[in-house]
């Protein structure tokens, strides 16, 4: 009997209105799940409800890997700061609670984890780091740019290069104090930290860009999802 495809937990988001009518809903951007599926995994949406967040460690034992996706900003109180920027947007307490709980549980279980954009920021906060509430420019908002990767790093090895093009960013925040154990492995041309890894775990990667946005036309971007699913299959 062949092995079943790896199950990848994908954190969903609160959606106030849906096409079902004026009812609250949970949502997830389709490119995340489609990139996981192309890699041979099965994406499973994990809704931001307190009962799940409170039992994240038990829930994640049923999964093989974790995808921490993008989304709105994280409440600055989560990293010990008061809100100071008018540009803060999309703060939802339930999303913060779920993402933090899932990230912490995945680390404890040593699940392969890919943390993207907001997800990388969540990972950083869970490990004791902080954020820059606004980086002060729009060079990373709906822009494709290149990233210089550290030779020998996880991402450089899997894409086969230290220069990666077509990195689509949608963020106005960045990493402040680096979380415990995280190692910087990639920077944009303007010096923004764009990639981290956590060597104390089997496979934990954080990227400030969205590889799923260009994965259908850029094999190197899809390769990042391929590796997440491959690692999940070994778990």
Q: What is the pLDDT of residue 235?
A: 80
Distance, CA of 207 to CA of 115 (rounded, Å):
6
CA 56 to chain CA centroid, Å, is 17
CA 228 to chain CA centroid, Å, is 12
Residue 201 lies in a domain: yes
Residue 32 lies in a domain: yes
Interior angle at CA 181, CA 208 and CA 162, nearest 5: 45
Which of 199, 106, 202 minimizes the C-alpha distance to 150? 199
Residue 2 lies in a domain: no
DSSP-derived letter for residue 202 is S
* CATH assignment at residue 134: 3.40.50.880
Residue 130 lies in a domain: yes
Q: What is the pLDDT of residue 2?
A: 75
Q: What is the pLDDT of residue 138?
A: 87
Domain hosting 155: range is 7-234
Counting every residue written for the chain, the total comes to 235
Number of domains the chain contains: 1
Per DSSP, the residues of 162-186 read SEEEEEEEE-S-EE-SPPTT-EEEE
Dig out the tokens for 66 from the structure: 């974790």
Residue 1 lies in a domain: no
Residue 100 lies in a domain: yes
Distance, CA of 226 to CA of 105 (rounded, Å):
22
Q: What is the pLDDT of residue 95?
A: 97
Residue 230 lies in a domain: yes
Q: pLDDT tens track of the chain, all 235 residues?
A: 678 999 999 999 998 665 656 667 899 999 999 999 999 999 999 999 999 999 999 999 999 999 999 999 999 999 999 999 999 999 999 999 999 999 999 999 999 999 999 999 999 999 999 999 999 888 899 999 999 999 999 999 999 999 999 999 999 999 999 999 999 999 999 999 999 999 999 999 999 999 999 999 999 999 999 999 999 999 8
Question: Does the CA dihedral 13-16-18-23 come out positive or negative?
Answer: positive
Residue 44 lies in a domain: yes
Dig out the tokens for 123 from the structure: 């990972």
Is residue 104 left, alpha or beta, with left meaning phi > 0 and alpha meaning psi from -120 to 50?
A: alpha
């Amino acid at each position: 009997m062949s092995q079943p495809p790896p199950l990848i937990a994908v954190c969903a988001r609160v959606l106030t209105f849906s096409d079902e009518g004026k009812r609250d809903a949970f949502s997830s951007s389709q490119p995340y799940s489609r990139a996981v599926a192309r890699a041979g995994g099965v994406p499973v949406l994990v809704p931001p409800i307190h009962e799940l967040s409170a039992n994240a460690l038990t829930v994640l034992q049923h999964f093989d890997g974790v995808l921490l996706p993008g989304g709105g900003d994280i409440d600055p109180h989560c990293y010990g700061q008061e809100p100071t920027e008018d540009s803060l947007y999309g703060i939802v307490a339930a999303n913060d609670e779920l993402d933090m709980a899932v990230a912490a549980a995945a680390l404890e279980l040593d699940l392969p984890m890919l943390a993207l954009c907001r997800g990388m920021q969540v990972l950083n906060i869970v490990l004791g780091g902080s954020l820059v509430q606004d980086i002060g420019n729009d060079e990373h908002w709906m822009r494709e740019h290149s990233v210089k990767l550290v030779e020998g790093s996880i991402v450089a090895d899997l894409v086969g290069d230290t220069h990666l093009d077509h990195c689509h960013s949608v963020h106005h925040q960045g990493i402040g104090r680096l979380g415990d154990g995280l190692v910087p492995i990639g920077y944009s041309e303007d010096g923004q930290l764009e990639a981290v890894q956590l060597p104390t775990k089997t496979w934990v990667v954080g990227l400030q860009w969205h590889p799923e946005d260009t994965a259908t036309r850029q094999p190197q971007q899809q390769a990042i999802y391929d590796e997440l699913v491959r690692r999940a299959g070994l778990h």
